[in-house]
Structures are given as C-alpha cells and as structure tokens.
Amino acid sequence: MSRQGWFLLTAAAVVLSALFLRWGAVNQTEINGPLRKDAGDYYRYAYNLKHFGVFSRSDTGIQSDRAPSPDALRPPGYPLFIAAFLDDGKGYSFMPRVLMAQAVLGAATVLIYLLIFRTCLRLPLAAAAAGLAAISPHLVNSSVYLLTECLFTFLVGVSLLALIAGLKRKSWPFIAGAGCAMALSLLTRGTTLYLALFILPLFFMKAVCPRYMRVSALSALVIPIALAHGAWTYRNIGAIGESSDPTLTANFLQHGMYINMMYEGRPETYGYPYRADPLSDEMQGKPGRVLAEIGKRFLDEPARYAAWILVGKPMLFLSWNLTESVGDAFVYAPITTPYGYSTPFFITHRISKALHAPVMGLAIMAMIVVLWRAVKGEDVGVAPLVLSTVMLYFIILHAIGSPFPRYSIPTRPIAYGLAMLPLQWLWLRISPRIRSQ
C-alpha cells in the first residue's frame, strides 16, 4: 500500500474511533443538572439572543417573556453556537442536537491534529498521538457538557493547522485563516487574547518566516483578532458602558492565588479555597484589589509562593483529576456514564490514565528542548516550534491565574503530539545503528 493509502487508512481508523466514543458518550451520559453554573449561563445567553436579540445571562426572558438587560460577563462565541440549535421551546429539548454536533466537532478535532502531527512525526507516532486524543476521556467528555471546551479545542486546532500550513507554504492566506480561527476562539474563551502576541516572535525567525512576507503574514494573523476584539469591546461600551466585565479577570486571578488550592492550608477548602476566604466579597470584580492581595501574600511567603507559581500551578494545570469539579475526567457529576459499564470506555479510560503522567512529562521535556534549540538559532521545524510556543503560553497564563485542570483540556492534543517528539528523536538516533547490524 502507498504512503497516502496508509495515511488515509490511519485517519479513518482514528477518526471513527473518536466519533464512536464521543457519539456513545453523548447518547449514554446523563448529567446531574446539565444547565447549572457555567452551562446555565451559556443557555440563558443563547435563549436571550434567539428570542430577544439581547446578550444577557438573566433568566428574566425565560421566566416572564420580558427582554432582559444586557451584560458582558462571558464572550459571545459559545452562546451563538448554542443558539443555532435552539427551538422555540424551553428546557432541555435542544441539548441532544448541540451535543451531537459537539461529538462531530470532537472527532474533527482529532483529524485536525493528526494532520498537524503528520507534518513533523512519522505516521506511527502521529497516529499514536492522534489516538491518544481520540480516546482521552477528558476530550470525549467535553462533548457531553454545555461548556466551551469542545468548540474552543476545535477552533484552537483549526488555527494551529492553518498557521503551520501558512508558515510551511509561505502563504499569507493560510495565516489569515489562522487569524480568523484564533479570533473565533477568542470570542469563545478569552484566554487566547494574548496568544498572537506570544506567537509574533516566530515570524522574525528566518527558518520560520522569510523577511519578504513578514508584514503581510503578521497583518494577516493580527488584523482578524484585533477586529474581533475591537467589535466585542465596542459592543460592551455601548451596552453596559464598560469595555468588559472585570468579574472573570478578578476570579481568574483570585482562584489561583491560594497555595496548593487551599485556604490557609485547610484540606476541607481544597478546590474552592476562595469560598472560605473572608476577603472574597471585598475582591469580587476588582482585579486591582486581587493583585494587591497576591503581592502581599507573595511578600509574606516568597519562597513558597514562587514554588507554587513556577512548579505547583503547572503541575496542577496538567494533572489528570479535575480537582475543581467532581473529579477524574468529569466536570459535572454524571448520573450514568458509559465509563461505568462499557468495556471500550473502561479500557480506553485505563489506558489514558496510566499513560497520562509519562506523556505529560515527555511533552514538557520536548517543549523545553524545542524552545531552547530555537533560541540558540537551530531549525527545529515549524510544527514543533508552534506547538511548543502555544503549550508554553497556556502554562504561563494559568501559572499567573487559575490552574484548574479543566482549563488544560484544550491543550491535551498539543501535549500528545509533543510527547511523541522525544520518541522520534530516539528512533532517529538508534535506527542507523540497527540497520548497520
């Protein structure tokens, strides 16, 4: 069979496996209160958009059919996605359509990352990395919740595929596509706001971007993101009189400021230390006040705080257990889940959990080596450099703010691809010796 034939066969096997697990999960999982907390906010935003044309998380429209007041607590991308599946009724009737669409998006995400991995890995290793993404319980379960993870992971994957293709082909239209996808990811979850700035230094590396296309490439990446952010900011100023709601920023910073995710080291506060902090009300919605408190605590215990930020937070961010949720790979508690009784789900869960720690260790090692070699001026390849840069961005971002493992779910496919690089390096080193024997 030709190389292309093997690739098509591999892609079909990996994508069908991903779709099988996701389709099974959305059809066999029952969540206890699927429209609560964040999910409830997204539903109300979608409902109010569809029925009143107002972006608001208020339940006024649902309870009394009166138009609610606008707000800007969350970005509009995911509510717009949900609104496309809403009917004229209330309640849960729309959810199967959304979840099935997410199952398809999840399988498409696996294909996207397989295409990315194939640009820098041999087919068996690319297939292994995509296979880990296909069976990951965290990625599978992202399809069963009315939360941003599934759509956001897909959009980040599309942006990286387009960016890598654009840089490898020296094509600014592909890079413009990456900018558009990154803009949509920003409107889905605000954590990609500074990602383009983090990527910009890559455009000044000769091995990545030739001098003649730097201006066009940079413009193609940045302009869509700036337009999206500018449009959302303009809307917010007109609707609520402010550029954004500071609540999420304050929460993002505050929720990560407690060493080991405990208030004053008390085990009973683990995961939700801010609930026990008497200063929480005072810091609510005030990023400046939160930063002042972080600075005070850092000065009180500089060594412990530095260790928490540099080591503790990244380790927690990349850990298996969703500590801020119900645990394991679940955000909201399931009443029933195929992971409790289905053999394929049980086996893939066991494999994923057993491999999680070594895979994350290999990914971090690869990221450090790739970035170190790039800083020294070596040509490390476009895909490894982009993946390593994006992985580092998310680690640094969540070392500054909240390191909840749930927020690392969109980085899991990136980590799986990076983890295969050391294995490829090892194979390239030993294979000549094997052939010479």
Q: Which residues pair with 327 in a beta bridge?
A: 330
* 40 close to 23: Cβ distance less than 8 angstroms: no
Between CA 259 and CA 239 the distance in angstroms is 38
Q: How far out from the chain centre does Cα 74 lie?
A: 16
393-420 average pLDDT score: 96
What does the CA dihedral 204, 114, 22, 193 come to, rounded to 10 degrees?
Answer: 0
Mean pLDDT for the stretch of residues 102-112: 98
34-43, 357-366, 398-407 — which one is most confidently predicted on average?
357-366
Whether the predicted model's global pTM rises above the 0.85 cut = yes
What pLDDT, on a 0 to 100 scale, did the predictor assign at position 264?
A: 83
- Distance between CA atoms of residues 256 and 264, nearest Å: 13
What is the pLDDT at residue 162?
97
**Whole-angstrom distance between the N-terminal and C-terminal Cα of the chain?**
27
Give the orientation angle of helix 149-169 with respect to helix 95-118, to 10 degrees.
30
- Separation CA 65–CA 161 (nearest Å): 43
Q: What is the pLDDT of residue 14?
A: 97
Give the tokens for residue 406: 């749930």
User: What per-residue confidence (pLDDT) applies to 297?
Assistant: 86
- Collapsing DSSP to helix, strand or coil, 436 comes out as helix
d(CA 1, CA 175): 34
- pLDDT tens for 329-369 read 999 989 999 999 999 999 999 999 999 999 999 999 999 99
Q: Please choose, from the candidates 202, 210, 195, the residue with its C-alpha nearest in 3D space to the C-alpha of residue 375.
A: 202
Q: What is the phi-psi region of residue 278: left when phi exceeds 0, alpha when psi lies from -120 to 50, beta otherwise?
A: alpha
- Portion of the chain with pLDDT greater than 70, in percent: 98
pLDDT at 435: 61
Is 365 within 8 Å of 357 (Cβ atoms)?
A: no
- Distance, in Å, from the CA atom of 282 to the CA atom of 311, rounded to the nearest integer, reads 29
CB 143 within 8 A of CB 120: no
Q: Which two tokens stand for residue 346?
A: 């049980």
**pLDDT band (50, 70, 90) for residue 269:** confident
pLDDT > 70? residue 434:
no
Task: Write down the pLDDT at residue 433.
Answer: 66
User: pLDDT tens across 225-245, in order?
Assistant: 999 999 999 999 998 888 888
Domain ranges of the chain: 3-34+92-431
Ranges of beta strands (E only) in 137-203 are none
- Would you state the pLDDT for residue 436? 60
CB contact set of 136 (below 8 Å; sequence gap of 6+): 329, 352, 412, 416
Reported as a pLDDT band with limits 50, 70 and 90, residue 293 is confident
Which residue did the predictor score with more confidence, 130 or 259? 130
For residue 326, the model assigns a pLDDT of 75
**One-letter-per-residue 3-state SS of 389-414:** HHHHHHHHHHHHCCCCHHHHHHHHHH
Give, in order, the Cα–Cα distances in Å from 183 to each of 115, 137, 191, 242. Answer: 21, 27, 11, 21
> Average pLDDT of 248-258?
87
Whether 270 shows a pLDDT value over 90: the answer reads: no
Helices first, then strands: H and E counts in the chain: 19, 2
Residue 30 pLDDT exceeds 90: yes
C-alpha–C-alpha distance, residues 365 and 382, integer Å? 18
Paired tokens of 373? 């070699």
Mean pLDDT (the chain) is: 92
